[in-house]
Homo-oligomer: A and B are copies of this chain.
Amino acid sequence: MFLLCAMKLAEAKEQFIQQWGILGSQWGINRTMAQVHALLMVASQPLSTDDIMEQLNISRGNANMNVRDLINWQLVQKVIVSGDRKEYFTAEKDIWKVATCIMYQRKKRELDPMLKVLDKLNDIEGDKKTAEVKAFTETIANIQRFAGHAEKTLDTVIRAEENWFFSNFMKMFK
């Protein structure tokens, strides 16, 4: 009975890991990095590099690099187990915190550089009234205004939703 249950759980974890990997790769995140993240999210305890290697069938170098990247993304943390020389790792399990973290990180890393470029594109030499120039600067200005607006909205939503975990916690008693 215990084995049956364990089997099924392992299977479910496996499917979750695979799907999270697919989702990640569709959004420009290394599939293996997403899988490591998924593995740690559903792990009931911190895992070592060897655990990760074994469970995902990947090499030591690969496991190490992806764990480092996840730590950089602040999605994974090192765990020190006293009396053990190995390093262990855990992932943030509250999906709201995960989402917030990813949104902020990607904004900083990928959206901000775009906005910096857009800023530069505002002054174009010559006649600002040429139809072509006007159309271009208007499109750029439009994107900038949208970005500013989106940023504010994001902050608002994040702040408004900070009680999400709590309200969620309440539902467990319904």
Contacts and interface: CB of A to CB of B under 8 A. Distances in A.
Q: How large is the interface on A (under 10, 10 to 19, 20 to 34, 35 or more residues)?
A: 35 or more
Integer count of this chain's copies in the complex: 2
A5 B130 contact: yes
B19 A117 contact: yes
Contacts of A109: 26
A127 interface: yes
Contacts of A16: 117-118, 121, 140
Given A28-B28, A44-B132, A44-B135, 15 more contacts: A4-B125, A5-B127, A7-B125, A16-B121, A20-B114, A25-B28, A26-B28, A26-B109, A28-B29, A41-B139, A42-B135, A42-B139, A95-B142, A145-B168, A145-B171
